[in-house]
């Protein structure tokens, strides 16, 4: 049986991993139990790299490994760009074997896996989709989750094209999906999301062709949150769900807010975990039970909401619509749980229907 720990820790900057250091040095967390880190870092893409390097240096020291070995062992997902009331932080997931008797109760489980190294010409293609689907199934096994209904959040970090990778593909006479790196990155994220959808039975493998990727938005996963990075060469999967093989003090639930103000769905998701509301927010006891919240924001996919025109896509902050989209969903859900230390990522490519927000909540069992 597995016990999964969830530690949500504040950071004072992308270079601040002191809270984790303290927990390791105080023996609250055993470094070797760490299975994944998901961080909400402030600043731009370079700040993500900076945070990642700081985590690597800390864990390299604590685990007596090289930085490369740390990267190989522990998926670390840095989600950048914070705005509004978003509060920079990271969530550390630990896992350890414990003696316990299996019952019918399902508890929080975590699984990790990754695809083989992808060739640049495979990024954003059906091959990419199918390899991610396979990795998701592996991660389910790793998490000891049998039923796809029990999977609630699948974070995927996938590779981006770079000039060097295009050159590599072309030197072998191969073509990449697009030499526009933004477009290629979107397809890599889209393919990863569709891989989750295939693995979880949300989309049939037969429906997947190269052409539907970032084209047919009726295909999507309601559990996937994907991001891409230049440093990745494979797609890494961190999967969260509930399992009878787990004895963690937590469970996880998820929901699909059809747009950013679909609070009814958010309420339903929180209530499914036995949490209760009072005067527009969780009551104090329920607030204390929330361990972590993850949102995949899709507000930036649209220039209107409920027939009200917004300026998200037209105003002089249009270059920052992703940040603003995250800030508003963070504010809405943060107000509900009375805490804005919520992870929000922005990305619409096959991650829920267009304009939707995917919500996953981890809470302590009562």
Contact set with its own copies (CB under 8 A): 10, 12-15, 42-47, 49-50, 53-54, 82-88, 260-261, 263-264, 266-268, 277, 279-281, 299, 305-306, 308-312, 314-320, 323-325, 327-332, 334-336, 338-341
Residue 183 CB, nearest approach to its own copies (Å): 13
CA-CA distance, 142 to 75, in Å (whole number)? Answer: 14
Q: Which is nearer to its own copies, 112 or 361 (CB)?
A: 361
Q: Which two tokens stand for residue 309?
A: 């025109």
Q: Any residues with CB less than 8 A from the CB of 233 and at least 6 apart, and which? A: 117, 118, 159
Residue 309 CB, nearest approach to its own copies (Å): 6
Residue 44 CB, nearest approach to its own copies (Å): 5
Residue 21 annotated among the catalytic residues of the structure: no
Residue 345 annotated among the catalytic residues of the structure: no
| Phi, psi for residue 134 in degrees, rounded to 5 | -65, -45
Residue 336 CB, nearest approach to its own copies (Å): 7
Burial class (CB in 10 A: 0-12, 13-18, 19+), 249: middle
CB contact burial 267-300 (16+ within 10 A = b; e otherwise): bebbeebebeeeeeebeeebeebbbbbbbbbbbb
Q: Which is nearer to its own copies, 127 or 310 (CB)?
A: 310
Residue 279 CB, nearest approach to its own copies (Å): 4
Tell me which of 157, 223, 244, 326 is the catalytic residue: 157
Q: Which is nearer to its own copies, 115 or 330 (CB)?
A: 330
Q: Which is nearer to its own copies, 29 or 51 (CB)?
A: 51
What are residue 258's DSSP bridge partners? none
Residue 244 CB, nearest approach to its own copies (Å): 31
Q: Which two tokens stand for residue 66?
A: 């090289």
| CB-CB contact of 108 with 6 (8 Å) | yes
Q: Which is nearer to its own copies, 199 or 328 (CB)?
A: 328
Q: Where are the beta strands (DSSP E) in the chain?
A: 2-10, 34-40, 76-79, 89-97, 107-114, 151-159, 224-229, 236-243, 250-257, 277-278, 281-282, 290-297, 304-305, 308-309, 343-346, 357-364
CA-CA distance, 44 to 21, in Å (whole number)? Answer: 24
Tell me which of 221, 225, 227, 345 is the catalytic residue: 227
Q: Which is nearer to its own copies, 13 or 274 (CB)?
A: 13
Q: Which residues are catalytic?
A: 157, 227
């Amino acid at each position: 049986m597995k016990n999964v720990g969830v530690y949500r820790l504040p950071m004072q900057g992308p270079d601040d991993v002191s809270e984790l250091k303290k927990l390791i040095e105080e023996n609250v967390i055993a470094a070797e139990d760490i299975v994944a880190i998901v961080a909400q870092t402030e600043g731009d893409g370079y700040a993500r790299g900076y945070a990642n390097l700081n985590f690597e240096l800390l864990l390299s020291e604590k685990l007596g490994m090289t930085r490369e070995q740390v990267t190989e062992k522990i998926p670390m997902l840095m989600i950048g760009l914070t705005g509004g009331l978003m509060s920079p932080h990271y969530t550390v997931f630990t896992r350890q074997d414990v003696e316990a008797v299996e019952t019918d109760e399902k508890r929080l489980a975590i699984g990790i896996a990754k695809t083989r190294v992808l060739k640049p010409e495979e990024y954003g293609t059906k091959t990419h989709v199918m390899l991610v689907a396979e990795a998701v199934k592996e991660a389910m096994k790793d998490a000891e989750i049998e039923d796809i209904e029990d999977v609630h959040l699948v974070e995927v970090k996938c590779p981006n094209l770079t000039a060097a990778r295009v050159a590599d593909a072309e030197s072998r006479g191969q073509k990449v999906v697009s030499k526009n790196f933004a477009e290629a990155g979107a397809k890599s994220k889209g393919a990863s999301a569709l891989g989750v959808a295939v693995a979880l039975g949300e989309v049939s493998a037969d429906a997947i062709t190269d052409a539907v990727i970032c084209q047919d938005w009726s295909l999507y996963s309601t559990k996937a949150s994907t991001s891409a990075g230049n440093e990745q060469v494979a797609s890494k999967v961190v999967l969260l769900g509930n399992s009878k093989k787990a004895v963690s003090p937590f469970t996880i639930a998820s929901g699909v807010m059809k747009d950013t103000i679909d609070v009814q769905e958010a309420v339903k998701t929180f209530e499914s975990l036995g949490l209760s509301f009072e005067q527009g927010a969780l009551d104090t006891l329920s607030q204390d039970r929330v361990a972590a919240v993850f949102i995949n924001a899709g507000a930036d996919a649209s220039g209107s909401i409920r027939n009200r025109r917004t300026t998200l896509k037209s105003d002089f902050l249009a270059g920052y619509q992703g940040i603003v989209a995250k800030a508003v969903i963070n504010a809405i859900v943060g107000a509900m749980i009375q805490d804005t230390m919520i992870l929000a990522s922005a990305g619409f490519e096959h991650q829920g229907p267009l304009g939707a927000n995917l919500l996953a909540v981890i809470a302590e069992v009562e």
